Amino acid sequence: MKRILIVTGQSGSGKSSALQVLEDLGYYCIDNLPLALLPEIVAKLDLENNLEQLALGVDVRSTRANLQEFDQVFEQLQGHGSVDIIYLTAQDQELITRFSASRRPHPLASRFKSLHQCIQEEKVLLMPIQLRSTVHIDTTDKSVHDLKHTLLSKLGQTDKLIVILQSFGYKYGIPLDADYVFDIRHLPNPHWDLSLRKYSGLDEPVQQFLEQHEQTNEMFQDIYQFLNKWLPAFAEGHRHYMTISIGCTGGQHRSVYMVDRLKKALEAQWSIQVLHREMKHWS
């Protein structure tokens, strides 16, 4: 795991909105787990998943003892990647206004008579985490849109559209999560060449076979030009993800080749994620 973000702060300051922004940026987000369990959960995720970005929501619902032992938790998390803490706050009157508008109780409402008392106690409880925060954001005058751009700026990330290029095999069904599906089953099939059957579209022998056919190059150009023309429009429309699925019969040769070639052509301009859905079926 490369980057871990701990997202915390005063209730009503925008923690849930911040986690939604991070999820849109490709972070795997977990919210409202007891603080003491975080090292164990992160260790398990690090072992079983190839996660590069993890965001952990922490709030005052953790016990006082757990919050006071935050330094130990922080040091344990550092064993799994770089750790940054995003601390969100807002002026007291703004928090009171937000709670009044939402009509939701403060997490400490069962312990204190007034909302003002809840807010003051929460500041004290979260102090061990606030002192370690690396990103501090005052959301008093910020809309959700403003918060998003502040996070992008402070984290050194851009608001780029994430393009997911997915290869698949029609015999296993069309992906339900696709925004666009391109059928390339009409291209010459390396499967029928016994010397190529064991390879995938990532291997040079298959690539050479496909590129000797003009149909392959024409199909690539048509898909590339379509994406090159329309992806900017989707990005301007504040889309965060676009899933482009390329299908052949078995999802091993032609579609894999096309996804790999499109990735190389588009990655200079867009944030690209690649998924070869049928990899488990490759011979």
Q: Is 10 annotated as a binding residue?
A: yes
Q: Is 102 annotated as a binding residue?
A: no
251 is in an annotated binding site: no
Residue 137 is classified by DSSP as E
CB atoms within 10 A of CB 241: 15
Sequence-ordered list of residues with C-beta below 8 angstroms from that of 271, at least 6 positions apart, any chain? 26, 160, 161, 162, 163
Residue 247 marked ligand-binding? no
Please count the helices (runs of H) and the strands (runs of E) in the chain.
10, 9
Consult the annotation and say whether 59 binds a ligand: yes
> Is 114 annotated as contributing to ligand binding?
no
Q: Which amino acid, one-letter code, is at 235?
A: A
The annotation status of 207 as a binding-site residue, yes or no, is no
Distance, in Å, from the CA atom of 246 to the CA atom of 178, rounded to the nearest integer, reads 9
How many CA atoms does the CB half-sphere of 114 hold within 13 Å?
5
The verdict on whether residue 61 carries a ligand-binding annotation is yes
Helices within the chain (DSSP H only):
15-24, 38-48, 64-68, 70-77, 92-102, 115-130, 144-154, 204-211, 214-236, 254-266
Q: Specify binding-site residues for GTP.
A: 59-62
Q: Specify binding-site residues.
A: 9-16, 59-62
Q: Specify binding-site residues for ATP.
A: 9-16
